[in-house]
Chain A
Amino acid sequence: MGALLFSESNKDNNSSLFCSYSFGNSWIIEKTKEGKSVPLQLEENSTLNPNTAIHSKEGALCQFEKTGQIIRLGAKSIFEYNNTEKILTLSRGSMLIYQKEISDITIRSDFSTLRIMGRFTAIVDCTSNGGFKFIPLEGKGQIIPERGDSKDIYRGRLTMVLGSPSKLGNAYDIDLLLLLKSSRLINSFPTPLPSMKRISLSIYAQQLRLKGKFNALIGDAPTDDNLQMWAFGEEESK
């Protein structure tokens, strides 16, 4: 499973993503004029052009930036983007998103699509059913599915995005502090996210309202009707 992260960038290039960090093996799949795929190893300071896919291998991490946006890609992820329509496509893996200014972007997986209007930092985690989990860490705005009602972005609330045309599935409040401590997308990069202070504030706000934690971890969603839960003990109340 992989992950993608967006955050503020100081780079001036408005159309292409600039690779500001790469760890491990990741490959850019360029297409020749004849339509052949040519893999090129991703290097720091290289550019990821629109409609060009990147594959990150096991253990790999990479970060792309452009003005007002940073995208962090986790291991075993496949990602590409379309600047014209502001579409970020994550076919596999996971990503975390930070958008500095209020904007209107669309996230796509194999089967599902979610439009997001707002300013936010969020993690996107693909599931086996072709959809994805959308986990905002901080921010304000709305998530708008292809069918059904839109919802406000609420920090720490994991929302399943299912099917095509896509709808919002079940939502779960999750432990942001644990997510923060255990996420490679947040912790395994040389520079902290620009929104780190706001994420800390989200954790504080969640702690104020925290009543208890389930001794379980949310896993993959193999089908739209199933969500894996890994139990590890009795319910803990606070």
Chain B
Amino acid sequence: MNMKLLKFAALFSTLPTLMFGQQPDATVTERNNQPPTAVTSGEKNNANVDASDAGAQRPIFLKTTNISPFAGLDSKYLYRNNPLSAADKLDFIETAMWMNTAYAGASFEAVEIDDAVITPYLGASYTTTEYLESGLDGLDFASTSAYAMLLAQHSSGWTFRAGISYAMDKSKSTKEETYKEFYPYIGAMKSYAVSDTVLGIFDISGGQHRSESDASGIPSLNSTNSYSGSKELQNLDVIAGYSLRFVYDNIVVSPRYGLVYKRYFYGSNEDRKDFLQTVNLKIDYIVNENMNVSLFGGYSNRDSSSGNSSADYDFNSADGGIALG
């Protein structure tokens, strides 16, 4: 056999193994372990009636059970120019990605106190992430998430939440867990009407990622994701974001700017501090109460102090795609 062909065959056969070490950065992986942060009404303009003195009295019927279950499917097809969060542009491996999520959960009977309504939530989700670029398919993984949360809507307009979530990533190639975490967190959100059709939403949260990550030490292609200790990725984070929702009939346009600060404590990540900025734009077309079609795009930039490691954790990444859910 021709030597060139042999070299290609060897490369293709070993590529998936090499990719095991070059995992996607678990600290920036999207996981659906965040419960809903607000209740929105599906009502449109059917309340647009002439004013009367007492007001229009439309009878309604209320749920008779104390549990309100919900479930659904989301599919995203997107392009990402730096899915592995590489620092050097030469290491960028652009790829299309396919993400599918199944989720289910329930809210339980709300407790009404003087100035707040507190609602318990439980939920879980399962997400598969597939890289469509040839050679990256060895990095395909599945994420399992679950959460328990108390959501308190205060009369001041602020929504407070506290809970704990669990997330776990499993490599589809090796069938082994590569990352798992428990994430106790607290958060607060305030939304207000900027105008009749524009809603402003400020959100802030923080928590501790009590994670265990792949400590196999398999050398990676760029070495930045070669974990040498299972607690290396444990961190405290503070997340803040501001978004606007422009509503035009069935179309909702939502630009968002977000900031994330993370501090790490273990191994080569000791004293590492990350500062992540994100800008996103999402355009939803509401097909009906149960289905949206969305176009989305975003840009992320991470500035990292790198801690004890000489590795460069800075990166920037852009993505865009379409979602159905």
- A residues lining the B interface (CB < 8 Å): 1-3, 61, 74-75, 77, 93-94, 96, 123, 125, 133, 135, 140, 156, 158, 172-175, 177-188, 197-198, 200-201, 204-214, 216-218, 229, 238
CB contact list, B46-70 vs A, under 8 A: 47-63, 68
Contact A205 B49 (CB under 8 A): no
Chain A residues closer than 8 Å to B52, beta-carbon distance: 1, 182-184
- Is B117 positioned at the interface, with any CB of A under 8 Å from its CB? yes
**Can you list 29 residue pairs at the A/B interface with Cβ under 8 Å?**
A1-B52, A74-B53, A74-B54, A75-B53, A77-B53, A133-B57, A135-B57, A156-B60, A175-B47, A178-B58, A179-B54, A179-B56, A181-B55, A182-B50, A182-B55, A182-B56, A183-B55, A188-B51, A197-B156, A201-B154, A205-B110, A205-B117, A206-B60, A209-B62, A210-B62, A211-B61, A212-B60, A217-B57, A238-B289
Knowing A182-B50, A182-B52, A197-B157, the reply to whether A209 touches B57 (Cβ < 8 A) is no
Query: Chain A interface mostly helix, strand, loop or mixed?
Result: mixed
- Is B286 positioned at the interface, with any CB of A under 8 Å from its CB? no
| Interface contacts beyond A133-B57, A183-B54: sample of 18 additional A-B pairs, CB < 8 Å, sorted by A | A94-B53, A123-B55, A135-B57, A156-B60, A174-B57, A175-B58, A177-B47, A185-B54, A187-B51, A188-B51, A201-B117, A201-B154, A206-B60, A208-B117, A210-B62, A212-B61, A213-B59, A218-B58
Chain B residues closer than 8 Å to A172, beta-carbon distance: 57, 59
Query: Chain B interface mostly helix, strand, loop or mixed?
Result: loop
Chain B residues closer than 8 Å to A94, beta-carbon distance: 53-54
CA distance A204 to B154 in the complex (A): 10
Chain A residues closer than 8 Å to B90, beta-carbon distance: none
Closest 6 CB pairs of A and B: A183-B55, A74-B53, A179-B55, A197-B155, A218-B57, A3-B53
Knowing A173-B59, A209-B63, the reply to whether A3 touches B54 (Cβ < 8 A) is yes
Chain B residues closer than 8 Å to A197, beta-carbon distance: 115, 155-157
CA distance A205 to B107 in the complex (A): 13
Total interface residues on B, using CB and 8 Å? 36
- Is B153 positioned at the interface, with any CB of A under 8 Å from its CB? yes
Contact B60 A173 (CB under 8 A): yes
CA distance A133 to B57 in the complex (A): 11
- Is B41 positioned at the interface, with any CB of A under 8 Å from its CB? yes
Cβ-closest chain A residue relative to B55: A183
Chain A residues closer than 8 Å to B114, beta-carbon distance: 140
Contact A214 B54 (CB under 8 A): no
